[in-house]
């Protein structure tokens, strides 16, 4: 474990400028920080009333917590996300409202538009789900899980389902979900 340029612990490497095969004791000015491989967390959501958007922002805040070093988190509305975003990602969070006991049309559209362009190019992408539900959210979750199997995505965290009114507890759960996904990616747990 080393300290990054901000003085925080990092899994990055310190390298000196010695010619290949040579070693010497370097002063601080001769050492440069080499960033460890940055992981990418993609958060894709659809919102109508704003509740799922608030959940997505809470997940993003958790993923960008000061406890996380080495994960780049990207938040996109479902209509703005595409195949290139999925191919960029090392992990995925999907957020949707429950509409008529199903995921939203916007989330379904994202999954439909990206499936064939990424088919065979994604191997077991870790993912988790958050749902703003008027009912219990179980059918929306089941639909996402069924489609996620085909990609293939691998569910690595329990879903957050905000049934009824969105509360601070739901938002805290989304923050923790974002943090857990980011830390899991950073530590290569998935």
pLDDT tens digits along 144-183 = 999 999 999 999 999 999 999 999 999 999 999 999 999 9
Domain ranges of the chain: 4-34, 37-186
Dihedral sign, CA of 60, 64, 79, 160?
negative
Beta strand pairing status for 160-163 and 125-133?
A: parallel
pLDDT single digits (tens) 107-130: 999 999 999 999 999 989 999 999
Give 89 or 134, the one with higher predicted confidence: 89
CATH class for domain 37-186? alpha beta
Which residues, other chains included, contact 122 with Cβ-Cβ below 8 Å and sequence gap of 6+? Answer: 86, 87, 151, 152, 153
């Amino acid at each position: 474990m080393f300290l990054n340029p901000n003085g925080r612990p990092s899994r990055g490497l310190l390298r000196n400028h010695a010619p290949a095969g040579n070693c010497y004791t370097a002063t601080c000015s001769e050492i440069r920080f080499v960033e460890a491989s940055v992981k990418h967390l993609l958060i894709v959501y659809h919102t109508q009333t704003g509740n799922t958007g608030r959940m997505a922002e809470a997940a993003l805040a958790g993923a960008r917590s000061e406890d996380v070093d080495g994960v780049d988190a990207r938040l996109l509305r479902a209509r703005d996300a595409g195949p290139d975003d999925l191919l960029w990602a090392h992990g995925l969070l999907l957020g949707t409202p429950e509409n008529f006991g199903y995921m939203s049309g916007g989330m379904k559209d994202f999954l439909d538009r990206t499936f064939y362009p990424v088919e065979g190019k994604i191997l077991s992408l870790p993912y988790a789900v958050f749902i703003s539900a008027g009912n219990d959210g179980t059918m929306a979750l089941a639909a996402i899980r069924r489609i996620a199997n085909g990609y293939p995505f691998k569910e690595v965290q329990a879903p957050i389902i905000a049934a009824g009114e969105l509360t601070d507890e739901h938002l805290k759960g989304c923050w923790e979900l974002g943090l857990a996904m980011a830390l899991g990616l950073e530590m290569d747990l998935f």
